[in-house]
């Protein structure tokens, strides 16, 4: 269950997230039904730590814009276009195959070759859809416009 954390300090409530938002499932060991509220007093210390982490991530994520990115595999044969509100975390997840059944894990896509930030996540989602609607040649032209040697831009962003 993907959820957001309410601003109430005593309760956690589940809210559905837009499918393009980063899931805040750090408290995955807490089973909640949609819209259900539970008292934080009934949680274990470990669950409370997970909730506090999710609150921090939620607060940080909601204040950011969005980023569109393209990653590829070591042979540059597969291109994956994605959108995120936290580029460093998302690329790290791709590199670590955090979601082992995902497209990028299956096709070994972990080399960041393109990214672009936007002031709002909605603008980033719009750009992601525009890029995905284009053919491979258009994506290559976009990548080579900013990264002609197809370098892994992870080295550039991981120090932020």
Q: Does this model's pTM top 0.75?
A: no
- Give the pLDDT confidence of 52-62 residue by residue, as tens digits: 555 554 455 44
- Quote the DSSP letter at residue 31: -
- Give the pLDDT confidence of 77-87 residue by residue, as tens digits: 999 999 999 99
Arithmetic mean of pLDDT, 127-137: 97
Measuring CA to CA, how many Å separate 128 from each of 25, 41, 43, 88? 23, 41, 39, 17
Domain parsing of the chain, residue ranges = 11-62, 66-157
Comparing 160 with 122, the larger pLDDT belongs to: 122
Burial of residue 46 (CB within 10 Å: 0-12, 13-18, 19+) is exposed
Pick the CATH number of 66-157 from 3.40.50.1950, 3.40.50.11540, 3.10.28.10, 3.40.1440.10: 3.40.1440.10
Torsion 49-51-57-59 (CA) sign: negative
């Amino acid at each position: 269950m993907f959820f957001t954390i309410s601003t109430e300090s005593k309760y956690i409530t589940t809210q559905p997230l837009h499918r393009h938002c980063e899931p805040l499932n750090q408290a995955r060991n807490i089973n909640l039904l949609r819209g259900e509220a539970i008292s934080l007093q009934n949680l274990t210390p470990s669950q409370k730590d997970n909730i506090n982490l999710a609150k921090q991530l939620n607060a940080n994520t909601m204040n950011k814009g969005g980023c569109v990115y393209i990653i590829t595999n070591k042979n540059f044969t597969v291109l994956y276009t994605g959108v995120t509100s936290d580029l460093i975390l998302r690329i790290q997840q791709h590199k670590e195959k955090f979601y082992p059944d995902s497209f990028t894990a299956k096709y070994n896509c972990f080399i960041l070759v393109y990214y672009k930030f936007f002031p709002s996540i909605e603008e980033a989602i719009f750009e992601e859809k525009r890029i995905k609607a284009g053919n491979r040649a258009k994506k290559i032209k976009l990548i080579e416009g900013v990264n002609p040697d197809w370098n892994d831009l992870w080295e550039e962003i991981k120090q932020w």
